[in-house]
Structure 1
Amino acid sequence: MNGLSLSELCCLFCCPPCPSRIAAKLAFLPPEPTYSIQTDETGARGTLRLTDRAEWQFSDKELESIEVFYTRSKRGNRIACMFVRCASNPKYTILFSHGNAVDIGQMASFYIGLGSRINCNIFSYDYSGYGASTGKPLERNLYADIDAAWQALRARYGISPDCVILYGQSIGTVPTVDLASRFECAAVILHSPLMSGMRVAFPDTRRTWCFDPFPSIDKASKISSPVLVIHGTEDEVIDFSHGLEMYEKCPHTVEPLWVEGAGHNDVELYGQYLERLKNFITTEILSSIRMMPQMGG
């Protein structure tokens, strides 16, 4: 989601504009895959093979705690999934939608470190065109991808929605908000969220245009679960104002985490990040649910 040149802007609006073109220009940067999945004879289970570019930080023992497999999205793409067992008796499993320019191979070490510290298992997946997932990185695929991950998490591991926390980071907040606006879950974490693609490219945008990709701001009001918003005040990719607006639009927010001086890719390095997550998960989710009006399933 970098700034656009004058020629790119002209191309953007004269081609004519359509959501997939704008999305491709503003957001999707799939890296060269950092892993592969070797499946067994049934195709139901896989073995994770990491390359050096994954920068694995643990031993083979921790690697054994990771289960990988493929599922299929409604759009026909094969989606690579990763289940990381970080805790022996976790109350919650986090469905993590990662940021741009990474895949689940690169994120594996982070997932183990995060999950073990907040006592949660972590389930993640790669978007179409990322990692070992097939297809192209398109907005409509993004929504189908998280649907497939959500269904696989529930069916394969028998985890009920009230034990799932949806966590989206950067571009990952887009499918997270979409899913959370349609299904109830234990809670939602929006880490460096964006209001919409046009609002990132053109900060003065005050409305959602028909060709505006990723219109999360228009879906936020439909989220019925407790929401924690996290954003760095010096974010150079998605301006801090996006986090503020998303916080205002979500109906059931808890106290946000505004990380003073943090940019787009270093929020996790600040001590208050882990402390805020721990408090949210251990205390605030249940207290927030008790305070919310009873909703239908």
Structure 2
Amino acid sequence: MNGISLSELCCLFCCPPCPGSIAAKLAFLPPEPTYHYVAVTSGGNVTYKVQFNDRAEWQYGEREKELLDVSFTTNSRGNKIACMFVRCAPNAKYTILFSHGNAVDLGQMSSFYIGLGSRINCNIFSYDYSGYGRSSGKPSEKNLYSDIDAAWNVLLTKYQVPQETVILYGQSIGTVPTVDLASRHQVRAVILHSPLMSGMRVAFPKTTRTWFFDPFPSIDKVPKITAPVLVIHGTEDEVIDFSHGIAIHEKCQKPVDPLWVEGAGHNDIEIYTQYLERLRRFVSVELSN
């Protein structure tokens, strides 16, 4: 029935799991924080500077840290959310709102952001989910949606970035809040890197419908996105099966040519040359036409 065995179906109806428990098991593995923010007071105003520890594996020097503008905001659920604006390109046409994958935080992603943004000529704004890095609270599905809304508001208000120049980029679990935001707001484009259809479809691969307790139901939200969507997925993904990327791509209103990386897994797509090539073409050619 609907791709689930009789025993699984009985278990689901007799004692259906709550979405929070599924989400916690499937998605949330926040690492020990790899950075902290140091408050600087000047003229009664408080700003922050970032400091990394060794586990952040910062690949640049002190001068490049000046590219990182860090701050805190508060989401609608009362959690303090750490934010980072990476000024990668002086003449950037677009700004990427990047929702990172699991088991990393802003400290570990900072070097990657500088490298990516400088190569595709985009600035990058990112944030840590509740319970990740220096963000307070605990990770949950509801917090994911509240976290990206808070980040979105900072990007549009504090940094005055026009929403028609924003590209939403979600990686793995980060595709969940990315799809949710994109389904509710008009943006320039969306990039979904190793997306999942829903939590139950990851836990029970034969699931073919969305159950009422299914967390992360991106497959039902993707059709509401009106912006162009680029889907990226490795054909040998061992965490989120390649079939998820295909299904998400097929549900898009405005899909562009996807990037299926032959032989790539869940965490190594970025090392393949076609990754940067595809992003460059998407940003500099396809979005400009």
Q: Which TM-score tier does this pair reach, normalised by the shorter chain?
A: over 0.9
Question: Structure 2: how far apart are the matches of 1:190 and 1:171?
Answer: 10
Instruction: Note closer, same or farther for the CA distance 1:49–1:14 as it changes in structure 2 (3 Å cut).
Output: farther
2:264 is the counterpart of 1:238? no
Q: Offset at 1:40?
A: 2.7
- The 8 Å contact of residues 44 and 69 in structure 1, kept in 2 or not, is answered as no
Q: Is the 8 A contact 1:226 1:254 kept in 2?
A: yes
Give the corresponding residue for 1:285: 287
- The amino acid across from 2:34 in the alignment is T
Contact 1:12 1:21 in 2 (8 A): no
Identity of aligned residues (%): 71
How far is 1:217 from its partner?
Answer: 0.1
Looking at structure 2, the residues matched to 19 and 60 of structure 1 have their Cα atoms a distance apart, in angstroms, of: 43
Match for 2:273: what amino acid?
A: G
What does residue 54 of structure 2 align with?
52
1:216-253 per-residue CA deviation (whole Å, 9 max, x = no partner) reads 00000000101000000000000000000000001001
Partner residue, 2:134:
132
Residue 223, structure 1, aligned to residue 225, structure 2: yes
Alignment of 1:135-146 (within 5 A): 135-146=137-148
1:82 alignment partner in structure 2: 84
The answer to whether the Cα contact below 8 Å between 1:34 and 1:53 also exists between their aligned partners in 2 is yes
- Which residue identity is paired with 1:74? S
Note closer, same or farther for the CA distance 1:12–1:116 as it changes in structure 2 (3 Å cut). farther
1:291 corresponds in structure 2 to: none
CA shift, 1:44, in A, is 4.6
Relative to the length of structure 2, the TM-score reads 0.94
Q: 1: distance between equivalents of 2:195 and 2:151?
A: 20
Letter in 2 for 1:243: G
Cα-to-partner distance string for 1:253-283 (whole Å, 9 max, x where unaligned): 1000000000000000000000000000011
Aligned runs of 1:1-297 on 2, under 5 Å? 16-41=16-41, 44-287=46-289
Task: Give the secondary structure class of the aligned counterpart of 1:67.
Answer: strand
Contact 1:197 1:215 (C-alpha < 8 Å) held by counterparts:
yes
C-alpha spacing 1:73/1:65, structure 2 compared with 1 (3 Å): same
Cα distance between partner residues in 2 of 1:44 and 1:133: 18
Any conservation in 2 of the 1:65–1:86 contact (CA below 8 Å)?
yes
- The answer as to whether partners of 1:127 and 1:137 remain within 8 angstroms in 2 is yes
User: Letter of the aligned partner of 2:70 in structure 1?
Assistant: V
Runs of 4+ aligned structure 1 residues displaced above 6 Å come to 9-14
SS in 2 for 1:217: helix
**CA–CA distance in structure 1, aligned partners of residues 45 and 218 of structure 2:** 35
Q: Is the 8 A contact 1:170 1:191 kept in 2?
A: yes
Residue aligned with 2:215, SS: coil
RMSD: 1.6
Residue 107 (structure 1) shift: 0.2
Aligned residues: 279
Counterpart of 1:86 in 2: which secondary structure?
Answer: coil
Where structure 2 has 5 or more consecutive residues not aligned to the other structure, the ranges are 1-8
Q: SS state of the match for residue 219, structure 1?
A: helix
CA contact (8 A) 2:199 2:215 kept: yes
Instruction: Quote the Cα distance in structure 1 between the aligned partners of 2:46 and 2:275.
Output: 36
The residue type equivalent to 1:133 in the other structure is: S
CA distance in 1, matches of 2:94, 2:176: 21
1:68–1:83: 8 Å Cα contact kept in structure 2?
Answer: yes
Shift of 1:121: 0.6
- Give the drift of 1:10: 11
CA contact (8 A) 2:96 2:125 kept: yes
List per-residue Cα deviations over 1:15-40 (Å, max 9, x = no partner). 65111111011110000000001123
Contact 2:67-2:87 at 8 Å conserved across structures: yes
Matched letter for residue 119 of structure 1: N
Conserved? CA contact 2:16–2:213, under 8 Å = no
